[in-house]
Homo-oligomer: A and B are copies of this chain.
Amino acid sequence: MDFKFLKDNELVVPAQTKIAMIVMDGLGGLPMEPGGKTELESARKPNLDALAAQSALGLADPVAPGITPGSGPGHLGIFGYDPMVYEIGRGVLEALGIDFDLGPNDVAARGNFCAVDAAGNLTDRRAGRIATELNVELGTLLRTIQLDGVQVFVETVKDYRFVLVLRGAGLGDALTETDPQRLGVPALPVRAHQPDAEQTALLANQFVDQARKLLADKHPANMVLLRGFAKRPAIPSYQDVFDLRAAAIAVYPMYRGLSKLLGMKTLAVPGETIADEFTVLEKNWNDFDFFYLHVKKTDSAGEDGDFARKAHVIEELDAQLPRLLALKPDVVIVGGDHSTPALLKSHSWHPVPVMLYSKFVRADGIAEYGEHACTRGSLGRLRSRELMPIALANAGRLTKFGA
């Protein structure tokens, strides 16, 4: 089931209740040795554990069992959307990540500066991971490129990465990538795999040709690769599907961009600690029905393989939790967008421990928030996208289906 069922049957009803969703990025973990505890299980987190006792617990698959999600699908899932239906292309995510204001008809691609030899064959797909300063300098050159009938944006991301955005009427994003994913061969031409993208393929190839000429005598970056062409997906908004005035509290641009895609109001966060985020939550409590609060550093620590630091970020969140509970939210969801076990140093396919608190939830009485504890919870093993309907029900925001 997804929100379409709620819409088609007009199940969503207005209410004055408030729902808070805490997303700890990459929350799910693994023990460092067999039989050990996970990051979450080893963290000292009395407030989360106390909330667990009054909550329903479960293990959530963001996309489907076995699937390791990127940040886009992971968030779409916990936000209540089916990530197998709504896809956010890599180019769009990259543009969101630098706060680029993508229009509905823009086509965005992720760009790499790269190196080719005299014959045009790739020698380094990342141009020796050039410094951001050089990227900015080369970007200025690329910004001189003019294409017929479209505006061209070239925006530096970091190191060797940039974003290319084409803006104009009638652009399509059904395009192949130019990165051959190996060395010793030339970059591939962009090809349309749907007729409505043929004109865009032409333009993209013209961009690459001009870039090749402009960068010809540069070193170590003398060429570009383009990947993940994508338009902003048309995703129904939170207001439209859930009748929620939703606010996003996130420090990193990509997550702010993601929530903006769903029509959430992204609140400015002065500072970048978890405590700063909770201050924003408190200040805006009266003005929204739904709050998404994003904790990034669990994921970064997981990616770095730093078990202790990941556990510590969870403890930091735990210390702030009473500030949310003092606001008397009607429903609290605590979870993650995916797992990032320090053991694996990367996103993983493991289901994410989640809990849902409300006065009307049938609490499992399990006074611990952790992977093994959640295995025993009454939410069972569910898809992340099933959490939002349960949250809405507990918030008195769904009416009866059928007579």
Contact = CB atoms under 8 A, between A and B. Distances in A.
A376 B379 contact: no
Nearest to A90: B403
A392 B64 CA distance: 13
A336 to B, nearest CB: 14
A375 interface: yes
Per assembly, the copies of the chain total 2
B1 A72 contact: no
Interface stretch (A129-137, A188-196, A363-371): A363-371
Nearest to A97: B403
21 contacts: A1-B64, A1-B67, A30-B360, A35-B365, A38-B362, A68-B398, A68-B400, A68-B401, A69-B401, A72-B402, A73-B402, A83-B401, A88-B403, A90-B403, A94-B403, A347-B400, A349-B390, A349-B398, A364-B375, A379-B381, A380-B381
A34 B54 contact: yes
A228 interface: yes
A83 B379 CA distance: 21
Contacts of A68: 393, 398-401
A347 B399 CA distance: 10
B35 A228 contact: no
A393 B349 CA distance: 7
Contacts of A63: 1, 401
| Residue of A66, A347, A399 with highest tally of chain B CB at under 10 A | A66
Contacts of A35: 363, 365
A273 interface: no
Nearest to A359: B34
Contacts of A5: 64, 67, 84
A166 to B, nearest CB: 19
A129 B386 CA distance: 40
A344 interface: yes
Main secondary structure of the interface of A (DSSP, over half): loop
Given A66-B390, A70-B402, A389-B65, A84 B372 contact: no
A376 B391 CA distance: 22
B378 A66 contact: no
A302 interface: no
Top 5 closest pairs, chain A to chain B, by CB: A66-B389, A380-B381, A70-B402, A1-B64, A349-B393
A90 B9 CA distance: 13
Nearest to A74: B402
Task: Pick the most buried of A70, A379, A401: most chain B CB atoms within 10 A of its CB.
Answer: A401
Contacts of A392: 66
A379 B380 CA distance: 9
Contacts of A257: none
Q: Which of A73, A362, A363, A379 has the most CB of B within 10 A?
A: A362
